[in-house]
Amino acid sequence: MPDHAGHRKGGTMKPLYAWGAIAIIVSASTAGDVLLSRAMKQVGDVGELRRRAGVGAVLVRVLRNPNFLLGVLAMAAAFYAMLFGLSWADVSLVIPASTSLTFVTNAMAAKVFLHERVDHRRWLAAVAVAGGVILLAI
Amino acid sequence: MTLRKYFVLAGVSVFAVTGDSLVSDGMKHVGSISLQHLPDIILVVFRPEVALGVLFLLAFFACYTTALSWADLTYVLPATSVSFILLTLVARFVLHETVSLTRWLGVLLISIGVGVVTQGPELTHHSRDAGTGKCPTTPVTARVEP
């Protein structure tokens, strides 16, 4: 029988764990992306800042930003949830499912929390990429 | 968009694919990790494949945060999903794997998403000036290059 979602070494079935990990990956990734995006907008264009004040100033400004630190924590949580997810289910389930869902949740979160102008163009892009990722995994 | 910015977006795509591939390869050798053995999930980053994957993911993170400093989140994410297309092209033409029609349709959908989002401006909202807490006097979109 071919290995599929929720089946790993030894034939142990853990679909609930796998989808729980995917839910945590999506939530933590979205929170991390939004926090990092907010932090980097507060820091400003890194290229311009580096030319003006040097790499040290960029690092200090980024590392002293609370949103950046919270974003890194959220991304770390997503990374470890991904490691758990990959140990419980196949990469062909965990990565496409979490990636495609994150595209959509990020678009919603960016509109609500970052006040980005998510027009039809960007919604179409998010949904097309999410759909494409799912098709790649089938 | 300047050439430097295209390189940063390309870096996001390439480093993410390489890092994810190395980490998932390392995790295949580890197998299932029980919740009763939580320290195992920390020790696993010392496996060579996972450690190298983490280095690539750090490079991805540097490029990603740089891109977010001058572009919207809803621009950066679809624009950098070109990595999925690259991965499929490598699988077909370098590794000579069979790529099904469904996967080619997936590539087409992602290409449409990338094409659609990159036709628009990379920054649309009014961000606050760094460190001052004041809103810029001119809309950020006015600075967007053609």
Domain housing A128: 13-137
Do A46 and A40 contact (CB within 8 A), yes or no?
yes
Whether residue A126 is contained in a domain is answered as yes
Is some CB atom of chain A closer than 8 A to the CB atom of B120? yes
Q: For A30-34, A98-102, B31-35, B103-107, which range has the lowest pLDDT when averaged over its residues?
A: B31-35
At B35 the pLDDT is: 66
Neighbour count for residue B36 (Cβ, 10 Å): 6
Q: For A1-10, A123-132, B5-14, B34-43, which range has the lowest pLDDT when averaged over its residues?
A: A1-10
* Amino acid, single-letter form, for residue A121: R
Rounded-to-integer distance, Cα A36 and Cα A15, Å: 31
- Bigger pLDDT: A66 or B17? A66
Task: Select from B61, B54, B93, B55 the least CA-distant residue to B76.
Answer: B61
At B125 the pLDDT is: 66
At B86 the pLDDT is: 80
Residues A10, B32: C-beta atoms closer than 8 Å? yes
Mean pLDDT by 10 residues, chain A (138 residues): 42 73 95 96 91 90 95 92 83 82 92 92 92 86
Whether residue A4 is contained in a domain is answered as no
Distances, alpha carbon B18 to alpha carbons A103, B49, B50, B124, B144, in Å = 20, 11, 11, 30, 31
Written as six digits, the tokens of A32 are 């991390």
At A85 the pLDDT is: 86
Residues A47, B120: C-beta atoms closer than 8 Å? no
Rounded-to-integer distance, Cα B130 and Cα B128, Å: 6
Residues B130, A14: C-beta atoms closer than 8 Å? no
- Bigger pLDDT: B132 or A43? A43
Written as six digits, the tokens of A114 are 């970052």
At A87 the pLDDT is: 81
Please tell me the total count of domains within chain A: 1
For residue A73, what is the DSSP state? H
At B106 the pLDDT is: 92
Do A13 and A97 contact (CB within 8 A), yes or no?
no
Do A84 and B34 contact (CB within 8 A), yes or no?
no
Residues B107, A121: C-beta atoms closer than 8 Å? no
Whether residue A49 is contained in a domain is answered as yes
Chain A: give the shortest CA distance to residue B35, in Å.
Answer: 9
